Chains A and B, each alone.
Chain A
Amino acid sequence: MQLVQRVCDKLKLGEENKNDIILINLNGLILNDDRVALKDITRQLHLENVVGDRVFGSFAENLAFLLQALKCGSQECKSLIFIIEEFDLFCYHKNQTLIYNLFDIVQSSQTPVAVVGITCRLDVIELLEKRVRSRFSHRQINLFNQYNFDDYMNIVKNLLQLPEDFSDFLQRNQWNGHIEKLLEERGAKSVLRRQFETNKNIRNLKKLLVLSVSQISDKHPFLKTSNFIDAQALQTVDTKASMLKGLSLLEMVLVISMVHLTVLYEREPINFEMVYNEYKKFASRKSSLQCIEKTVVFKAFEHLQTLELVIPMTGSTLTTPKPFRLVRVLMDPIQVKEALQRYPNLPTELEQWASFMLSDIS
């Protein structure tokens, strides 16, 4: 989008073309319907003054109106540039009417019209209907993040360093020198490399850098490697594992038994009765832990459901009694193990049982 915007700006700045271009920006997320899109096009074309006393109601009328406008143009008309963001969403409109007509105008009339579609989908052409595809000019420009780690580091440097025209010359030099030194450090480099390997996106990089830079305060006026590490830890934290940390012991026991059951039955859905049975086995074996009533256990189970660690099966009917409703477990044994390691004050009995329960899996 930035690229297209820049091209358009350049086109607009060009002396001769300055007044001969009409840009029309359409966004598939905003214009979720051809009807809305048409109205927006008419608005952006400033056809409203021509519309005059016309009732701006019927979709069909609008379409006919706009088509007429676009068709009757000739070489002398201003160039129209349609920039369609989230182009793939327009393909889901009924019959693809709008894009068919836009392409048809491009292909069949003398009005100078260009249509630029922007999308993240690589297979967007396959979404087009056959007759629409035939009218598409098949010009594609693919933008990929084709840079290596050195380029990536340069981008980081550019982002972090203060610009040349920064008012305080001394501070700029100090800061920039510091950044250069920092980026040479091994710790910072490894953090950035990891980020690079996970995701080449500049957007994600910016997120990381913002997090690190926001840790700067009066006491620590410069960026440190530790800031990077903290930021990355914040970003890469596993949400499930951290959620498990906050569970009560009982819930933890339930989670362990559920994961065990899931693996045992090869990912078949389970229900509360099975889990309770597993819990009773555990409770009877380890007498040191207090045995808890079934209703309380069920409450804990429901709590897990609200946390969406467990989701009900879509097929289960409301007629089935609650304890027998089938659920699916959305946790991996690896996640559970990790969570157990970090769980504060985990009773040794539970720890042993858990390692026993989860060991037969992997």
Chain B
Amino acid sequence: MQFTSLIEQTKKEKFSWIGEGKQVNRRKRNELHYSECTLSNCKIAVKDFVLVRNDDCMDSENLQNCFVGQVQDLFDTGEGNNENHRAVLQWYSRISEIPPRHQKQLKAANSKWEVLQDTRTNFDSNIDVETIFGKCSVIFLQPYDNTDTEETENLPRFYCRWKYNGFHFEPVKEFEVTKTKVKINTRNVKSKSTNGRLEQYNYQHAALPLVEKEILEDSRDHSPEIELQAPIHELEKVQKSHAKYEEQSASFKQVEKLTRQRSRTKKRDSLKIQKLCCKEREKNISPKGWNENHFSPSIETSKVFLKDLRVRIDISDFKKSKTALGKSQFSRFDVKKLENGLKDDIEKKSFLRKNKDYWMTNSGNKVCPLVMAEVPEDKFIRSFSEERNPPKSKKQRFSVSAKKLQVDEESSEDDYENVEEDTDSDEDFEIVSSVKKTSKRRNPTGQKSKNKGTCQTLGRKIKRLRPVIPSRQTPCSVSENPLELARVKLHVSAVPEYLPCREYEYSDIYSFIEGKLFDESGGCMYISGVPGTGKTATVREVMRCLTQARDSGEVPLFQFIEINGLRLTDPHHFYSQLLQELTHEKATTSHAAELLEQRFTKPGLKRDHVVLLVDELDLLWTRKQDVMYHIFDWPTYPHSKFIVIAIANTMDLPEKIMLNRISSRLGLTRISFQPYTHKQLQEIVMSRVQGLNAFDPDAVQLVARKVAAISGDARRALDICRRATEITKLESKHKASPEKGSRHLVGMGQIEQALQEMFTSPKIAAMRSSSLQEKLFLKAVVAEYQRSGLEEATFSQIFKQHVAICRLEGIQPPTPSECAAICSYLGSCRLLLVEDGQKDILQCVRLNMSVDDVNYALQN
């Protein structure tokens, strides 16, 4: 406690307002609004972009996890508590923070530096100033602009293209004229024009594939012009950078030479484009190393031309363009339009894959060493690492491209070997491409570092690997026999489209969760019922529907988490499991408990609802009941947005095992699932076998009535029906030649047999098949019971009876040792309940069934 207060103190000291506070609202006199403040040596003013701690993450000040926002207002509530320094923010969400279905729409712009202006209303924009830990800058761009990575003032920089209101995207307006903006604008002009070109080109390409050459000329003439249009200081910068990256350009030249040699053998046009590319690239080098995005349009254009001009298109080339396409913002349009044209290439690619060895020798031996020899290695490594600046992994880009073009080899992520092979081949392509295109990050030395890269990606993949049962070689046979179909449908796992007979409970749960979601509050619900009454299935069904509703935008966002008490090895493990489901982070149980406590009890920033389903709640019981306490305590906090649905078997669990403080928090929202009645069971079975002519309705009724009389367990009913279908199938097989046309209905007989199998106790059969002496021993037990009137006897007493009975029947009595053996044998079958053998003749023996059973079984 002392420690935390100390921290608060120091924070306090570091914080101060600048300037005079203004009163804005008359009613709130104490509220003073400011325009600036300092926070730990950092000056924050209104309209600044700030980074806000994300307390849900382990590393709350990580640039990748934190929130981004723009300060709209700063004020002091004057209430004198710890949280009186407030700030109102306009949130900027990362792409990973918006719903996945919308993420898909923005896939092209999948960058971690991308943010969206978030105008959703369900996040609290009023935050504590002290959660701000740094400043950043956000640059507003046109939707199809390119980003650059010039970092000014050493601040992290984000790019914003879109405004998001929870349903769709709108381009953000450029409403600020700043110093950087001028720069950006010029750049925009430049890239925009190329973009326009490209789009134009694409359209033409789609329409008339033969005009390319013309456009090529056009664009060649055009792009230098654009460059010239750029402001002079920009050019100066470029020149500076040129000087700075002398080695690099030297290497370019060398490689350029090489490409020239190579491409000369091909076509001249392509050579020209190569040159052009190189020039353009050299000019474009920016001081901070060049981001690929920066050139992507120009390179892309040239690449596309190359591709089209060269009939014998290079596989690597194709790949390059593909990645660039995947990367760039307009790939969405491009890919579609180019797809037709690319089909050829895909075919070629697969052909080339077969000849991989050939490529290995061709590229690996001939080309690569050449370049390697010409350029000192260390320089390359250095330049490479510099170029890697925004570490957009190649893997990511490949995966994007792979998805786009649906090249299945690359999308098979789970297979270790496959991955390795893939990256291998990628490298081959890489080498070729780097030589060809003189290019960018992928220069020949990249090979070395790339190996590192692949190692990293492999490592990541192993972590992500899911254990898989090896797949079978021959697929399961699927039969069209109605009996077989019925059997499949009757399996418990085959959940039907809707759950019959639970409509009332379903709507109850649905409305509860939906209501809580709309209220933005938390709450708990307790569901009880004997096993096999569809508790978990109903809740899952509700959640399935709600998830659909969420995805179509009808319901606020939420995250559904399911935790089963029996899948946890220890009740306390609940915390780490929950944390892992929430944030995909691993933590020890105590640490996870702390983090979760913080998340749910402290007023949070941007958070969605969490719907938690706790199955088998009674297993989370601990002596102190702290786990249960937390589960039901968190929803009561105003900011938690935590909805808990707890499931257990016993109705009075809250009263029976929970402490009062827990059961009061649980509240009275309880639903009890009654065991199914025979009508409901009948309906359930019938709904599953509907349309299949396999069951006699009367037979189903028999099952339903039998099961309802015993337990009302739907699983049991389904199992019986399944067994009955199996019996029917066996019977039909045994019948010498079943006529083809005749159907085999599951009738009363089969059901009766199945019921017999399941419900009769094996004990009577076991007694009947036991040996003479064993029977006599059981008789002796009964006789001893009758003699003493007690339901328990010692072995010596029974032995005496046994001997007496033997004499009566004229059988040689067994020795005590033999008799003890018999006794222990019967005990191991649990026909008798026997104490441990240490007590020898004094051990107590009891029958594990009624005396009547014994008499009945032994009467013959």
Quick check: B719 and A131 within 8 Å, CB to CB?
no
Is A39 at the interface (CB under 8 A from chain B)? no
**Does B723 lie at the interface of the complex (its beta carbon under 8 Å from any beta carbon of A)?**
yes
- Whole-angstrom distance between the alpha carbons of A122 and B764 in the complex? 10
Residues of A with C-beta under 8 A to B812: 194
Q: Please state if A198 and B531 are interface contacts (CB–CB under 8 Å).
A: no
A residues in contact with B567, CB < 8 Å:
63-64, 67, 97, 101
Q: How far is the CB of B406 from chain A (nearest CB, A)?
A: 21
A199 within 8 A of B: yes
Q: Enumerate A56-100 residues with CB–CB distance to B below 8 Å.
A: 59-60, 63-70, 72-73, 75-80, 95, 97, 100
Please report the C-alpha to C-alpha distance between residue A240 and residue B799 in the assembled complex, in whole angstroms: 14
Residues of B within 8 A of A95 (CB): 566, 619
Question: Is A30 at the interface (CB under 8 A from chain B)?
Answer: no
The reply to whether B769 and A144 form a contact with Cβ atoms under 8 Å apart is yes
**Is B757 close to A, CB under 8 A?**
yes
CB distance from B468 to the nearest CB of A (A): 7
Contact A19 B473 (CB under 8 A): yes
User: Residue of B at shortest CB range from A20?
Assistant: B472
Q: Does A47 contact B (CB under 8 A)?
A: yes
- Across the interface, A328 reaches (CB within 8 A) one of B472, B772, B799, B842, namely B842
Cα of A205 to Cα of B719 in the assembled complex, Å: 39
Residues of B within 8 A of A (CB): 462, 465-476, 491-493, 530-532, 566-570, 573, 576-577, 616, 619, 649, 711, 713, 715-716, 719-720, 722-723, 757-758, 761-763, 765-766, 768-774, 794, 796, 799-800, 803, 811-812, 814-818, 821-822, 825, 828-831, 839-842, 848
Is the interface on chain A under 10, 10 to 19, 20 to 34, or 35 or more residues? 35 or more
A337 is an interface residue with CB less than 8 A from chain B: no
Q: Nearest chain A CB to B838's CB is how many angstroms away?
A: 8
Given A50-B465, A111-B469, A198-B771: A142 and B762 within 8 A (CB)? yes
Q: Is the CB of B831 within 8 A of A199?
A: no
Least CB separation from A58: chain B residue: B569
On chain B, the residues within 8 Å of A237 by CB distance are 815, 817
Q: Inside 8 A of A289's CB, which chain B residues have their CB?
A: none
- Interface-central residue, A69, A76, A101, by most chain B CB under 10 Å: A76
Chain B neighbourhood of A100, CB < 8 A: 566
In the assembled complex, the CB of A362 is this many whole angstroms from the nearest CB of chain B, namely 9
Q: How far is the CA of A198 from the CA of B812 in the complex (A)?
A: 11
CB of A308 to closest CB in B, whole Å: 8
**Docked CA distance A131–B825 (Å):** 30
Q: Write 12 A-B pairs (CB below 8 A) sorted by A numbering.
A: A22-B469, A59-B569, A73-B469, A78-B470, A78-B472, A79-B472, A107-B492, A134-B531, A138-B716, A145-B770, A238-B816, A241-B815
Q: Which 7 A-B pairs have the closest CB atoms?
A: A134-B531, A69-B467, A144-B769, A238-B815, A197-B772, A20-B472, A77-B469
Contacts of A130 in B (CB 8 A): 530-531, 649
A60 adjacent to B469 (CB under 8 Å): no
Q: Tell whether A330 is near chain B: CB-to-CB under 8 Å.
A: yes
Please tell me if A312 contacts chain B, counting CB pairs below 8 Å: no
Nearest A residue to B569, CB-CB: A60
Alpha-carbon separation in the docked complex, A145 to B770 (Å): 7
Count of A-B residue pairs with CB < 8 Å: 190
Knowing A60-B569, A199-B773, A199-B821 are in contact, say whether A68-B762 is a contact too (CB < 8 A): no
List the A side residues contacting B462 at CB < 8 Å. Answer: 52-53
Contact present for A330 and B840 (CB under 8 Å):
yes
How many whole Å from A17's CB to the nearest CB in chain B? 8
B770 touches A200 (CB 8 A): yes
User: Is there an interface contact between A51 and B713, defined as CB atoms closer than 8 Å?
Assistant: no
Q: List the B side residues contacting A122 at CB < 8 Å.
A: 761-763, 766, 829-831
> Do the beta carbons of A123 and B771 come within 8 Å of each other?
no
Docked CA distance A330–B842 (Å): 7
CA distance A79 to B473 in the complex (A): 11
- The answer on a CB contact under 8 Å between A66 and B467 is yes
Residue of A nearest to B715 (CB): A134
In the bound complex, do residue B822 and residue A332 qualify as a contact, i.e. CB atoms below 8 Å apart?
no
7 A-B pairs besides A52-B462, A198-B814 with CB distance below 8 A are A60-B569, A73-B469, A78-B472, A97-B569, A196-B771, A334-B800, A334-B816
Q: How far is the CB of A361 from chain B (nearest CB, A)?
A: 11
Q: How far apart are B572's CB and chain A's nearest CB, in angstroms?
A: 10
Whether a CB of chain B sits under 8 angstroms from the CB of A120 is yes
Q: Is A65's CB under 8 angstroms from B469's CB?
A: no
- Cross-chain contact A332 with B796 (CB below 8 angstroms): yes
Known contacts A52-B465, A121-B830, A130-B530; is-contact A77 B771 (Cβ 8 Å): no
Q: From A196, which residue of chain B is reached at the shortest CB distance?
A: B771
Nearest-neighbor residue (CB-CB) of B475 within chain A: A76
Q: What B residues does A144 contact at CB under 8 A?
A: 765-766, 768-770
> Whose C-beta in chain B lies nearest to the C-beta of A131?
B531
Q: Nearest CB to that of A239 among chain B residues?
A: B817
Rounded to whole Å, the gap between the CB of B567 and the closest CB of chain A is 6
Question: Do B817 and A123 touch across chains, with their CB atoms under 8 A apart?
Answer: no
| Shortest Cβ distance from residue A253 to the other chain B in the assembled complex, whole angstroms | 21
A residues in contact with B799, CB < 8 Å: 332
- By a CB distance below 8 angstroms, the chain A residues around B762 are 122, 140, 142
Q: Could you mark each residue 167-188 of chain A with 1 if its beta carbon is under 8 Å from any beta carbon of chain B, else 0?
A: 0000000000000000000000
What's the minimum C-beta distance from B389 to chain A, rounded to whole angstroms? 30
Nearest CB to that of B476 among chain A residues? Answer: A75
Q: Which residues does chain A contribute within 8 Å of B842, judged by CB atoms?
A: 328, 330
Does A117 count as interface, using CB distance less than 8 angstroms? no
A133 at the B interface (CB under 8 A):
yes
Hey, what's the 0/1 contact readout for A128-144 against B, CB within 8 Å counting as 1? 00110111011110101
Which of chain B's residues has its CB closest to A51's CB?
B467
A122 and B812 CA atoms in complex are apart in Å by 30
| Interfacial chain A residues near B757, Cβ < 8 Å | 139-140
- A310–B264 CA distance with the chains assembled, in angstroms: 107
Interface centre among A34, A101, A145, A332 (most CB of B within 10 A): A332
A341 contacts which chain B residues (CB < 8 A)? none
B568 contacts across to A, CB distance below 8 A:
60
A335 CB contacts on chain B under 8 angstroms: 816
CA distance A68 to B580 in the complex (A): 14
C-alpha spacing A22/B471, complex, angstroms? 11
Residues in A1-38 with C-beta less than 8 Å from chain B: 16-17, 19-20, 22, 34
- Nearest CB of A to B114, in Å: 32
**Do residues B531 and A72 form an inter-chain contact, with CB atoms below 8 A?**
no
- Cα of A257 to Cα of B653 in the assembled complex, Å: 59
Contact between B828 and A121 (Cβ–Cβ < 8 Å)?
yes
Beyond A69-B466, A78-B469, A140-B762, whether A198 also contacts B830 by CB under 8 A is no
Query: Complex formed: what's the CA distance from A67 to B761 in Å?
Result: 33
Kindly state the separation between the CA atoms of A311 and B462 in the bound complex, as whole angstroms.
Answer: 62
Inter-subunit contact B468/A69 (CB<8 Å): yes
A121 and B773 in contact, given A108-B493, A137-B719 (Cβ under 8 angstroms): no
Contact A134 B716 (CB under 8 A): yes
Mask: chain A, 295-314; 1 = CB below 8 Å from B; 0 = not: 00000000000001001000
The minimal Cβ–Cβ distance linking A218 to chain B, given in whole angstroms, is: 33
Instruction: Assess the A68–B467 pair: CB atoms within 8 A.
Output: yes
- Of chain B, the residue at the smallest CB distance from A49 is B416
Task: Give the complex CA separation of A145 and B492 in angstroms.
Answer: 35
Provide the residues of chain B in CB contact with A47, threshold 8 Å.
467
Q: Which of A128-166 contact B (CB under 8 A)?
A: 130-131, 133-135, 137-140, 142, 144-146
Q: Give the one of B649, B723, B830 with max A CB within 10 A.
A: B830
Chain A residues contacting B719 (CB-CB under 8 Å) are 137-139
Q: In the bound complex, how far is the Cα of B131 from the Cα of A160, in angstroms?
A: 88
Question: Is A348 an interface residue when CB atoms closer than 8 A count as contact?
Answer: no
Tell me the smallest distance from the CB of A170 to a CB of chain B, in Å: 38
| A109 part of interface (Cβ distance < 8 Å) | yes
Complex CA–CA separation, A139 to B715 (angstroms): 13
Is there contact, CB below 8 Å, between B566 and A199? no
Q: By the criterion CB–CB under 8 Å, are A112 and B476 in contact? A: yes
Residue in chain B with minimal CB distance to A88: B830
A215 within 8 A of partner (CB): no
Nearest-neighbour CB distance to chain B for A230, whole angstroms, equals 16
Assess the A123–B569 pair: CB atoms within 8 A.
no
Q: List residues of A (185-213) whose CB comes within 8 Å of B's CBs.
A: 194, 196-200
